[in-house]
Chain A
Amino acid sequence: MKSILPPRFIVERDLDRCIQCQVCVTQCGWDVHYFDEVDQVVRSRDELCVGCHRCVAFCPTHALTIRERQLDYRRNANWTPEVLEDIYKQSEMGGIILTGMGNDKPYRNYWDNLVLNASQVTNPSIDPLREPMEMRTYLGAKPERVEIDPETMDLRTELAPQVPIEVPVMFSAMSYGAISLNAQESLARAAAAAGTMFNTGEGGLARPLYKYKDHMIAQVASGRFGVHPDYLEMARILEIKIGQGAKPGIGGHLPGEKVNEPVAATRMIPVGTDALSPAPQHDIYSIEDLAQLIHALKEATRYTKPVSVKIAAVHNVAAIASGIARAGADIIAIDGLLGSTGAAPKIIRDNVGIPIALAIAAVDTRLREEGIRNRVSIVAAGGFRNSGDVLKAIALGADAVYIATAALVALGCHVCQMCYTGRCSWGIATTRPDLSKRINPEIGAERLTNLLRGWSLEIKEMLGGMGINALESLRGNRLHLRAIGLTEAEMQVLGVKQAGM
């Protein structure tokens, strides 16, 4: 069948600048650029371009420009080019339209409608260059109170396991297989350097990364890929994955093409087989079952590690979180509407779930109302773009956040949304050796550490501006937030006042 899908991008080559070096040919993972042997000239096939800008970044003479091809269909507010092209695609292929990364639709991004406070006159702002500014956060269940022996002044309280992080930003679950080993190693190294955590996702931990175990969150997902006693034993935090913001309610699928030998060994599956993670965990059909798995993991590791439960932010997130806290979890990770993925049905990514800001507020409020907020740490995920977003999430009530898209962007990702193909020209979402080697874990880690350092400095400046010198004094401090352009109902859920009030 002839495809009637038009190319999405136009590749413009400035022939005055092009020196025919063919760097674009070797860099493109999509076979867009090619050397025409007959005419002895570099040409391109626009229809294959995904807009990842790998060629643009590497062209030594800046001869390349990639433009979005804006076709002037007859103007229609409902039948937009995207809608038409999705239908062309499905009518040609059948099946579900796949995509990667996070929801790209213009839903209200609540961080853009919230503003932070600063001190003026009555309470001085604090200069982080002169004064200590503390960001250390301990993840884990906290007891109701501390008990001290009144006679000896000895501490009687023994806390459940706590994991410290020096910056309230962790790398979210990205499995080996979904991303390259070099990309995962970059994350692991950066987490170690910055005093935070990376998350293995549902792909297990590859042997070369064992040395980063002290900064590893081991995910136990519905496919149980890569889960073995040493894996649990090595981790600092265990995370049961129930759901993911990009695809609430459905499972995962790593295509067999990405399952090469090392991926297969890590996941403990045969080479070339699809790694299918079922939608539910087949041993969890109720909150009681979840409690059993939480305690099974705690028993298996002799109660030495906090257990996190990761869920997608959905309508009833507050009630679900309350159940999870009561089921014995130490951490609840909530992944919002903008959460990313290596592969998801586009229709689900773009239509299911609720924004993370609303979920954080609803969960924090609910757990406080029930008097159990101390029993769990809340980790928020899904579309955190900068340190401002992070700090607003903490002011709403999160203990820390997970980032994934921002971390991959630091490694070079241009959010072209083609992760599910395994052809990532940036060497991130691929297991092809020729592409994976484009990431040097040392340089990747340096880029990520720089990003975290930049965000840390910014967070300290903002905290100091509010006259606060420890992050825990902003946690759940919604008085330091104001809303702009939100409805009464939205402000009520967020628990924030209108700016000016």
Chain B
Amino acid sequence: MTLHERAREQVESFLHRHFEVVKGERVPTRRTPGIVDPPDLHRYFVHPRLESPGDVEDDFVVARVMEINSQIEGAFVFSSGKNMGVFKGVGYPEQIAEYFCLDSYEGYMWTGHNRFPTNTPGWWGGAHPFNILDWTVVHNGEISSYGTNMRFLEMRGYRCTMQTDTEVLAYALDLLIRRHRLPIEIAARVLAPPLWTEIDAMEPAERRLHETLRQVYGGLLMNGPFTIIAAHDGEMIALGDRIRLRPLVAGVKGDRLYVSSEESAIWLVCPDVEATWVPVGGQPVIGRLGETPRPLAVLGYVMPVGASLDEVGVNAQ
């Protein structure tokens, strides 16, 4: 996204310097009533020109995205992944879908979000989802620990530039899952950890794991009301804060998994949903390509890491 021509020129010369640009074009859009004053949106298909043999492609891309966002005035990267696209803006959801011609795209995993901009003004770059590489995050709520999370991430090379708390979630997932190679279930434990009293009562190995996670990643605990849906290549996770200050509902039909902050949304998209359930705070709902999702009963706050949904039981609707 660029706000003026000069920003676009700077971005293009930046891209040519660091990437081999295979294709560059204006993002296809449709004139849509209600979409007012849209920014200039371009997309580029690129190969990174790694500078030294030690460069890792993903880290290279993250660093360049941070540079564009923090150093080129009026330019923001919405979407920086592979086999993934972010379409977002200021308007009602149906208007945005219309504007971006979403009817012309296909995908096995979709995340939608609309937001009442509360603490920060609505602007195109600040709309959800937030993205880094092929990670996207949509978020309902407010991260009261934003300052702590931001400082934790900034020490590890991320630059929080979007004026909103949701981007820390995207960066946190990138750090935990891509850079630190933690399984998604473990990453969920970091963002919404069990209480110390619960950790104290765990079996020794489990306890040591959770203690270590909180000790090392305390700065990534997402405190305050939130429900998030984070998705990346082949995998989607929904997670609510540990004291359930924001709602989260899940549903299944066949091999499809639905997660939403409102049950009505699931019924609207899938009128014959087979089962729905409300996960407890801090308990992740994970959908994976190739796995059949199962409903999950609520037995207690802590679900053992790595436990299959079967082990926890089935909740018939």
Residues of A89-137 contacting chain B, CB below 8 A: 119, 122-124, 126, 131-132, 134, 136
**In the bound complex, what is the Cα–Cα distance between A425 and B75 (angstroms)?**
69
Given A123-B142, A145-B216, A468-B144, A155 and B208 touching (CB < 8 A)? yes
Nearest CB to that of B157 among chain A residues? A371
Q: Main SS of chain A's interface residues?
A: loop
Q: How many residues of B contact A (CB 8 A)?
A: 44
Q: Is there an interface contact between B147 and A148, defined as CB atoms closer than 8 Å? A: no
Least Cβ distance of A488 to chain B in Å?
Answer: 20
Across the interface, A155 reaches (CB within 8 A) one of B156, B212, B219, B306, namely B212
List the one stretch of B32-40, B177-185, B287-295 in contact with chain A.
B177-185
Residues of B12-66 contacting chain A, CB below 8 A: none
List the one stretch of A65-73, A214-222, A476-484 in contact with chain B.
A476-484
How many A-B pairs have beta carbons closer than 8 Å: the answer is: 116
Across the interface, A368 reaches (CB within 8 A) one of B155, B186, B212, namely B155
**In the bound complex, what is the Cα–Cα distance between A112 and B63 (angstroms)?**
40
Question: Which residues of the partner chain B approach A138 to less than 8 Å between Cβ atoms?
Answer: 215
Across the interface, B213 reaches (CB within 8 A) one of A146, A162, A374, A467, namely A146
Is A189 an interface residue when CB atoms closer than 8 A count as contact? no
Question: Which residues of the partner chain A approach B305 to less than 8 Å between Cβ atoms?
Answer: 153
Question: Which residues of the partner chain A approach B152 to less than 8 Å between Cβ atoms?
Answer: 476
Across the interface, B154 reaches (CB within 8 A) one of A143, A368, A473, namely A368
Q: Is there an interface contact between A473 and B148, defined as CB atoms closer than 8 Å? A: yes
Residues of B219-244 contacting chain A, CB below 8 A: 219, 221, 223-225, 242-243
**In the bound complex, what is the Cα–Cα distance between A142 and B216 (angstroms)?**
6
**In the bound complex, what is the Cα–Cα distance between A154 and B141 (angstroms)?**
33
Least Cβ distance of B218 to chain A in Å?
Answer: 4
**In the bound complex, what is the Cα–Cα distance between A477 and B217 (angstroms)?**
15
Nearest CB to that of B181 among chain A residues? A150
Q: Is there an interface contact between A123 and B224, defined as CB atoms closer than 8 Å? A: yes
Nearest CB to that of A132 among chain B residues? B195
Is B265 an interface residue when CB atoms closer than 8 A count as contact? no
Q: Is there an interface contact between B145 and A473, defined as CB atoms closer than 8 Å? A: yes
Across the interface, A478 reaches (CB within 8 A) one of B147, B196, B213, namely B147
Is B71 an interface residue when CB atoms closer than 8 A count as contact? no
**In the bound complex, what is the Cα–Cα distance between A396 and B134 (angstroms)?**
34
Interface centre among B148, B181, B216, B217 (most CB of A within 10 A): B148
Across the interface, A131 reaches (CB within 8 A) one of B146, B154, B218, B243, namely B243
Question: Which residues of the partner chain A approach B197 to less than 8 Å between Cβ atoms?
Answer: 132
Q: How many residues of A contact B (CB 8 A)?
A: 41
Q: Is there an interface contact between A146 and B142, defined as CB atoms closer than 8 Å? A: no
Q: Is there an interface contact between B221 and A122, defined as CB atoms closer than 8 Å? A: no
Q: Is there an interface contact between A148 and B225, defined as CB atoms closer than 8 Å? A: no
Question: Which residues of the partner chain B approach A480 to less than 8 Å between Cβ atoms?
Answer: 147
Q: Is there an interface contact between B148 and A476, defined as CB atoms closer than 8 Å? A: yes
Given A146-B217, A155-B208, A157-B212, A473 and B223 touching (CB < 8 A)? yes
Across the interface, B209 reaches (CB within 8 A) one of A119, A155, A162, A466, namely A155
Q: Is there an interface contact between A126 and B243, defined as CB atoms closer than 8 Å? A: yes
Nearest CB to that of A367 among chain B residues? B155
Is A1 an interface residue when CB atoms closer than 8 A count as contact? no
Least Cβ distance of B187 to chain A in Å?
Answer: 10
Residues of B269-317 contacting chain A, CB below 8 A: 305-306
**In the bound complex, what is the Cα–Cα distance between A409 and B154 (angstroms)?**
41
Nearest CB to that of A397 among chain B residues? B151
Question: Which residues of the partner chain A approach B209 to less than 8 Å between Cβ atoms?
Answer: 148, 155
Least Cβ distance of A111 to chain B in Å?
Answer: 18
Question: Which residues of the partner chain B approach A126 to less than 8 Å between Cβ atoms?
Answer: 243, 245
Residues of A438-472 contacting chain B, CB below 8 A: 466-470, 472
Q: Is there an interface contact between B148 and A146, defined as CB atoms closer than 8 Å? A: no
Question: Which residues of the partner chain A approach B217 to less than 8 Å between Cβ atoms?
Answer: 146
Given contacts A473-B221, A479-B146, 6 further A-B contacts (CB under 8 A): A123-B144, A146-B212, A146-B213, A469-B242, A472-B219, A476-B152
B interface list, Cβ under 8 A from A: 118-119, 141-142, 144-148, 150-152, 154-156, 179-183, 186, 195-197, 205, 208-209, 212-219, 221, 223-225, 242-243, 245, 305-306
> Which are the 7 A-B pairs with shortest beta-carbon distances?
A479-B147, A473-B145, A477-B147, A472-B218, A473-B223, A123-B142, A467-B144
15 example contacts (A-B, Cβ-Cβ < 8 A) are as follows A123-B141, A123-B144, A145-B216, A146-B182, A148-B186, A153-B305, A154-B205, A155-B208, A159-B215, A371-B155, A468-B224, A473-B144, A475-B219, A478-B147, A480-B147
